[in-house]
Structure 1
Amino acid sequence: MHLPETAAAPTPRVQPPGGTVVTTHPVGPHPVDQSLPPGKLLTSGLQHVAAMYAGVVAPPLVVGAGIGLSTADITFLMGASLFTAGLATLLQTLGIWRIGARLPFVNGVSFAGVAPMLAIGKSAAPGHALPAIYGAVMVAGALGFLLAPYFCKLVRFFPPVVTGSVITLIGLSLLPVAANWAQGGNASAPGYASRSNIALAAATLVIVLALRRLLSGFLQQVAILIGLVLGTLLALPMGKTDFGELRHADLVGFPTPFHFGAPEFQIAAILSMCVVMLVCMTESTADILALGKIVERPADEATLAAGLRADALGSALSPVFNGFMASAFAQNIGLVAITKVRSRFVVAVGGGILVLLGLCPVLASVIALVPQPVLGGAGLVLFGTVAASGIRTLTEADLEDGDNLLIIAAAIGVGIIPVIAPDFYAHFDPHLRIVLDSGISTGCLVAVALNLAFHHLGRHPAPTTPALADPPLLPVPEPR
């Protein structure tokens, strides 16, 4: 079997004289734990920031506009979200104690909470929307932290037939986001879905594919970043690049703790955000498992628990600095899969860049110069790669088994409904829609439930013979 250049070869088990099993260890750290030269760390980290930037600033933009904040307050919210996303990413990649998956795992503002936060804002008294949201997020984060060691025990119910279905759904669910970016990102904006926007997205896509085909080495690894720069340059003569935010941005700005007032704790808001926390934990579980497969360090219960704790702690602390609930960013998993750069320190540098962007609005505005259609063209590659990784994982399942095919069909079929028919659950209870409108969550729940029904409940494991329990030991020649 051919192994990737960066993967460590499996260690043979040998039987020396006397019967003691000796296992040799590969030289050097796992690629996940390897550092890179400063130049590669910076450019690769910047590439992760470019891939996630729009996803981080979109929720505060939508929530801020929905609850009637001024432009200045919305800009403040966006900077605070960048700052807290950076802190959560550092916590996830570097880790402290049993907190942090210590994988190249990017955290940012979860879009799953946007609808519930808008509902909380509309029901709150004037001026109390954000304090009510922040209080609910803090309690939900604390709940997630306490549940993490128990939630992670679900890992044994995520065989390849489940993880492959969920990873595929992650990619498929993200593709409409890329399509929306390619059209312009905002349906009410002038020129949305215009031929020029779509042409710019297509040109960026072609540039990225050409760079991946023609370049080699490190330049090939940062092809997405180069494609974003070249696509932005193409957008200049087309008038697609907006320099307005850059002209009015401050050089330095700190997200003052509790800028919008002390948190308020309202029962209905807390219950709503606790449901969102469970949804985020379900999605993060799937994302951690997917990333573990891609970087060839499969996530066990301890890794899952540590990753979920980082999500929850990041969510609980985020409101202090005026941020929202933190969760995994699946688009960056696609970036890891494409570039093959598996070092968690690259993503940690990206987290540091996010912190700086949150502290320096001018720098944040520079990143914001990348037009939405350019992001859309690159996003098609990123998100499509996630779906392709899921299909590759499905090949590890026994596809000759009709039960597995039914699990895959039902999970993807149910999970794709919110993607292709966003109003499918329009007449359901709003609290129930928090779960139903997330195709990743519903698909994951269906896959886990059917896997339990077909492969666990009422079945007894087949006895394992000694010959199959362990690989054969290699004899060591007697010394001459």
Structure 2
Amino acid sequence: MTPQSSVSPGSVDRPVVHPVDERLPALRTATSGLQHVAAMYAGVVAPPLIVGAAVGLTGAELTFLTGACLFTAGLATFLQTLGVGRIGARLPFVNGVTFAGVAPMTAIAAATDDKRDALPVIFGAVIVAGLLGFLAAPVFCKAVRFFPPVVTGTVITLIGVSLLPVAFGWAQGPDPAAHDYGSTTNLGLAAATLATVLLLRRFAHGFVKQIAVLLGLVAGTLMAIPLGVTDFGPVADAGLVGFPTPFHFGAPRFQLAAIVSMCVVMVVSMTESTADMLALGEIVERPADERTIAAGLRADTLGSALSPVFNGFMCSAFAQNIGLVAMTRIRSRYVVAAGGGFLVLMGLCPAAASLIAVVPRPVLGGAGIVLFGSVAASGIQTLARAGLDRDDNLLIVAVSLAVGIVPITAPGFYHAFPQTARIVLDSGISTGALTAVLLNLVFHHVGAGSDAAEATHPMEAGEEITGANRAPATP
């Protein structure tokens, strides 16, 4: 039987193109793609800023690292939207640097004696974690039942809580040894930036509301100029055209403890990407089946493995862009691919990447309170659906959060352990995630009393969008 056509009688029947595969006019594609970039920009540039500061990069090096992360986010988005063979979900799915890896990467930096070796160690760990994740993708999409909301919610909460001290440090200033560190000027700038973001989120509408964090950073930087806090040196020194030289910071180094830490992050990232693909599939009316999820996870993990080659970090789905698709109803994957193109171009223009280096640290601190606090709130939102009225789930969350918060509240707690072990132990994300996974196995999957069938998981129909990357751009 010939499918019914929506065209009028007498017209020529044409194949019906699904909105996901629709090619929009060039101008609409470009403007809608830029909107996706605006929605995710703050979330992409924050991780290199945090990690770059932790390893002691100069302003020029920080600009290079930021540009590299923009460039690799664009490449990962291409993989996800356009696809190559069995790689890529071919949905309007944005990829970028995941917040989940920030705390473990700063822990790796803290445990490395020579800070110049920290980035090569991080890059080596991300490469291995990405390749292992790529091989595990077809199996992982069948094993997500071991990562229900009680686990993912705990981990996402820990991600936000672990990053909040970074925002507080930024709010005080760039240098703890400086005379103005923690001054009323610095704290006032942070508070003014925070207030700007909150006011925009409360009273603005549409696109302006969507990019409230970005506008807050601009407003805070403008307020800092008359105070003499803003440094335009990085922009003056940056060229218009550049390329992220492969392994610019040195050849990757492979340390077991660092690899274990980033593999934990990869598991968390793959779990969230699975949930995001299911949510996006429902929004665009092309449900994500097991094959689509496996292809999407391959794009995530391959993008992560390739990213360090060009000096970028682990990539994962940006769920705030899923919200943008739902809001605008523009479902074309080519629009998101255009956004990926803009990210690549920004990564190839050091002057564009250097703009974020102009933003004073106190201004970043004010925005960071919103960014990182929203990540923690997203985790709490997930935990609210995790069945905490059951004693076993409550115990899993209580113990996992306690273990994960140890490195934050008692930084020297594991000082007697070997340095390599501390790379994992000093990361609240890693220790909390491992604890949550193991306790979930014990209480829900092991023994005669196993009640795994009752436990909800990210693939359950109707699961809301959650994730470590959701909140940063849409607090």
Query: Fold match, TM over 0.5?
Result: yes
For structure 2, which runs of at least 5 residues remain unmatched after alignment?
Answer: 1-16, 455-475
| Aligned residue in 1 for 2:429 | 440
Paired residue for 2:71?
83
CA 1:242–1:271: 2 relative to 1, 3 Å = same
**Separation in structure 2 between the aligned mates of residue 311 and residue 241 of structure 1, nearest angstrom:** 36
Cα gap change, 1:429 to 1:132, in 2 (>3 Å): closer
Cα distance, 1:463 vs structure 2? 9.8
Could you say which residue in structure 1 is the equivalent of 2:199?
210
Paired residue secondary structure (1:50): helix
Which of 93, 97, 101 is the aligned partner of 1:107? 97
Moved more, 429-438 or 407-416: 429-438
8 Å contact from structure 2 (residues 75, 303) kept in 1: yes
* Segment drifting more, 216-225 vs 301-310: 301-310
Corresponding residue number in structure 2 for 1:368: 357
Structure 2 residue matching 1:106: 3-state secondary structure: strand
**Does the 8 Å CA contact 1:167/1:286 hold for their aligned counterparts?**
no
1:314 to 272, 283, 303: 303
Quote the Cα distance in structure 1 between the aligned partners of 2:256 and 2:405.
27
| Letter aligned with residue 97 of structure 2 | N
Q: For structure 1, which segment, 341-350 or 195-204, has the greater mean C-alpha deviation from structure 2 after superposition?
A: 341-350
How far apart in 1 are the matches of 2:306 and 2:300?
10
Q: 256, 262, 265: which is aligned to 1:280? A: 265
After TM superposition, give the deviation of residue 86 of structure 1 in Å. Answer: 3.2
Q: Structure 1: how far apart are the matches of 2:368 and 2:152? A: 22
- C-alpha distance in 2 between matches for 1:400 and 1:319: 43
Q: In structure 2, what is the Cα distance between the partners aligned to 1:367 and 1:132?
A: 25
CA-CA distance at 1:242 after TM superposition: 0.9
Which residue identity lines up with residue 49 of structure 1 in the other structure?
Y
Aligned residues: 423
| Alignment-derived partner of residue 42 in structure 1 | 34
2:227 aligned counterpart, secondary structure: coil
Change (3 A) 1:460 1:228: closer
Please state if 1:384 is matched with 2:384: no
The answer as to whether partners of 2:164 and 2:372 remain within 8 angstroms in 1 is yes
What is the distance in 1 between the residues matched to 2:174 and 2:289?
A: 38
1:113-132, CA deviations, whole angstroms, 9 ceiling, x for partnerless residues?
A: 455578778599xxx99888
Separation in 1 of the partners of 2:314 and 2:386? 32
Quick one: structure 1 residues 74 and 164, their matched pair in 2 at CA, closer, same or farther if it must change by over 3 Å?
closer
| Cα pair distance change 1:292/1:201, threshold 3 Å | farther
Matched with 2:135 is 146
Which residue in 2 is equivalent to 1:170?
159
In the TM superposition, 1:67-466 aligns within 5 A as 76-92=64-80, 94-100=82-88, 102=91, 103-107=93-97, 110-111=101-102, 112-113=104-105, 116=108, 122=114, 138-139=127-128, 141-188=130-177, 191-257=180-246, 263=251, 269=254, 271-288=256-273, 291=276, 305-321=294-310, 323-328=311-316, 351-457=340-446, 458-459=448-449
Q: Could you tell me the TM-score, scaled by structure 1's length?
A: 0.73
- For residue 228 of structure 2, give the secondary structure of its aligned residue in structure 1: coil
Alpha-carbon separation, structure 1, partners of 2:176 and 2:279: 35
Residue 220 of structure 1: how far off its partner (Å): 1.9
Using the TM superposition, give the Cα deviation of residue 315 of structure 1 relative to its aligned residue in structure 2, in angstroms: 3.7
Residue-by-residue CA offset, 1:427-478 (whole Å, 9 max, x unaligned): 22233223222222222222222222222222356999xxxxxxxxxxxxxx
User: Paired residue for 2:46, among 38, 48, 54?
Assistant: 54
2:382 and 2:413 map into 1 onto residues whose CA distance is: 29
The AA in structure 2 aligned to 1:48 is M
- Secondary structure at the aligned position of 2:415 is classed as coil
Q: For the residues of structure 1 that align with 2:197 and 2:403, how far apart are their CA atoms? A: 32
Counterpart AA for 1:106: G
Q: CA RMSD in A?
A: 4.2
The CA deviation string for residues 49-94 of structure 1, in whole angstroms up to 9 with x for no partner, is 23331322443565475xxxx8766754554344234323443455
Deviation at 1:403, TM superposition (A): 1.4
Contact 1:60 1:81 in 2 (8 A): no
Work out whether residues 66 and 353 of structure 2, in 8 Å CA contact, stay in contact via their aligned partners in 1: no
Shift of 1:155: 0.9
Deviation of 1:153 after TM superposition, in Å, equals: 4.0
Deviations 1:348-402, CA, capped at 9 Å, x for gaps: 5554344223211111112322222222222222222222222222222333211
Contact 1:166/1:390, CA 8 A, preserved across alignment: yes
Q: Separation in 1 of the partners of 2:453 and 2:72? A: 50
Q: For 1:84, give the aligned amino acid.
A: T
Unpaired segments ≥5 residues, structure 1: 1-26, 465-480
- Pair 1:57–1:306, CA change in 2 (3 A): farther
TM-score, normalising length from structure 2? 0.73
| CA distance in structure 1 between the partners assigned to 2:437 and 2:305 by the alignment | 28
Contact 1:104–1:347 (Cα < 8 Å) also in 2: yes
Does the CA contact (< 8 Å) of 1:140 and 1:316 recur in 2?
A: yes
Q: Report the residue type matching 2:399 in the other structure.
A: A
Give distance in 2, aligned partners of 1:388 and 1:406: 20
Deviation, structure 1 residue 218: 2.5
Structure-to-structure mapping, 1:10-49, within 5 angstroms: 38-49=30-41
- 2:10 alignment partner in structure 1: none
